[in-house]
A and B are shown apart, each in its own frame.
Chain A
């Protein structure tokens, strides 16, 4: 597969390490009432869609960026690639 890195252009997916669903960015609040349940759902449950999937890839033998790649799990077609840091900020993550 080829991943269209937002900064570097097309790169062989072999340079990347895959983590999983991009929802892993949305780490719950540790002080919430239901923190343990929220962490359970966050860490263990997956939509696992057959179709568009937003997922985290780390450019391990590359520029060390984490990317959020939108990829179709039926066809492997990639429709969007973003820097995970931008995505995280857009989803309200900060310090």
Chain B
């Protein structure tokens, strides 16, 4: 059933009795051509593109809990393509273009809202770096504008220009960046995949991989063995735990990133603002809550919660940048577990086990990658060749010294 305004009117006039489940709850079959482990954004997108673009017939998505409960359900909803380095640019460029067409493709309004992302600059060295990045973005086909202080003031007159410890000297504006209603992405992909025959199986936890002679034949689950021609793992946050069942050690640590939302407010911030002198970025949801975050808690953890020091650090930065928010109340905080990789960049790759594929290491940037990640992972599994925009995301890149380190922090995951 296609969604539309007309359909809503029709249903409203007939007691909303016609709405169908957004996705089915099928029983798992004994065998699939491709099994995707992980019903988060990336897993669902992968399934959707396998079904819609690669005509893979029998696809299942296995989800331990409820779909969309991973990081697609707990992030700060930002989409952007403001990358500096070669291995990243084409990938995120594609991803942002896919966001722009997503809703029509899925027939689901995910509220893709391109209201601009502004990264503030506070020193001359930051401006030099912003210029290098902005130029890299333009050269890669993305959009960027370098603003001076007045340019920033015109957009956001209420930022702290007068009494700042680190004065605002400008900013890099990425107009096509913005936000997307995160849950809707998971649901839209799920519905799209389901309509194309993908089995989405919730409450089905993978407990092991069946590997014989170096080939993966399927997965053991809490709902029994499920055979598969190929298995793709997209469980960012839990990647090490899951891949360990296949005997693989990864260049990944799990860390918690806290995020916050304020009580609802009439419009304050149209786009996304990122502070350059502290850990704070902020946007406002369509419901009116300010959605903001900062740095990770720094220690390895699988507990989906953080501690006070980071909360205070984020708010010190936030109020330093926007003193007018002092009396606005922080409503809720949550913690998402991040696959922090060794260079801050992800992996979409085969593994040493035939038929087993891996997608992970998204750090706290996985949400914006969802469409391209799904497409590239689908491409890899369907064709057994990496998608041209995802060729750098290899698991062995550290062995060869081909890091993709946007932040230049080296092999310390919590600094990316």
- Chain B interface secondary structure, helix, strand, loop or mixed? mixed
B303 at interface by CB-CB < 8 Å? yes
The answer to whether B307 and A46 have CB atoms under 8 Å apart is no
A14 at interface by CB-CB < 8 Å? yes
Chain A hits for B342, CB < 8 A: 43-44
A28–B251 CA distance with the chains assembled, in angstroms: 17
Chain B hits for A1, CB < 8 A: 299, 307
- From B241, B301, B303, B399, give the contact of A40 (CB < 8 A): B399
What mask results when residues 51 to 89 of chain A are scored 1 for a CB within 8 Å of chain B, else 0? 001010000000000000001011110000000000000
Contacts A20-B413, A44-B398, A48-B254 given; does A14 touch B309 at CB 8 Å: yes
B240 at interface by CB-CB < 8 Å? yes
A14–B311 CA distance with the chains assembled, in angstroms: 12
Q: Which interface class (under 10, 10 to 19, 20 to 34, 35 or more) fits A?
A: 20 to 34
A69–B414 CA distance with the chains assembled, in angstroms: 17
A55–B238 CA distance with the chains assembled, in angstroms: 19
The answer to whether A46 and B251 have CB atoms under 8 Å apart is yes
The answer to whether A18 and B399 have CB atoms under 8 Å apart is no
**Closest Cβ–Cβ distance, residue B400 to chain A (whole Å):** 9
A14–B250 CA distance with the chains assembled, in angstroms: 28
Contacts A44-B342, A50-B241, A55-B299 given; does A73 touch B250 at CB 8 Å: no
Q: For residues 251 through 270 of chain B, which have their beta carbon under 8 Å from a beta carbon of chain A?
A: 251-254
The answer to whether A45 and B300 have CB atoms under 8 Å apart is no
The answer to whether A73 and B300 have CB atoms under 8 Å apart is yes
The answer to whether A50 and B249 have CB atoms under 8 Å apart is no
The answer to whether A20 and B253 have CB atoms under 8 Å apart is yes
**Closest Cβ–Cβ distance, residue B238 to chain A (whole Å):** 8
**Closest Cβ–Cβ distance, residue A70 to chain B (whole Å):** 12
A40–B412 CA distance with the chains assembled, in angstroms: 13
- From B250, B303, B309, B412, give the contact of A19 (CB < 8 A): B412
The answer to whether A48 and B250 have CB atoms under 8 Å apart is yes
The answer to whether A47 and B249 have CB atoms under 8 Å apart is yes
The answer to whether B251 and A44 have CB atoms under 8 Å apart is yes
B-side residues, CB < 8 A to A, are 238, 240-241, 244, 249-254, 298-303, 307, 309, 342, 398-399, 411-414
The 10 closest A-B pairs by CB, nearest first: A48-B240, A44-B398, A44-B251, A45-B249, A14-B309, A18-B298, A50-B302, A18-B299, A43-B411, A73-B302
A-side residues, CB < 8 A to B, are 1, 13-14, 17-21, 37, 40-41, 43-50, 53, 55, 71, 73-76
Q: A13-B309, A37-B399 are in contact. List 9 more A-B contacts (CB 8 A).
A: A19-B412, A44-B251, A44-B411, A50-B240, A50-B241, A50-B254, A53-B300, A73-B300, A75-B303
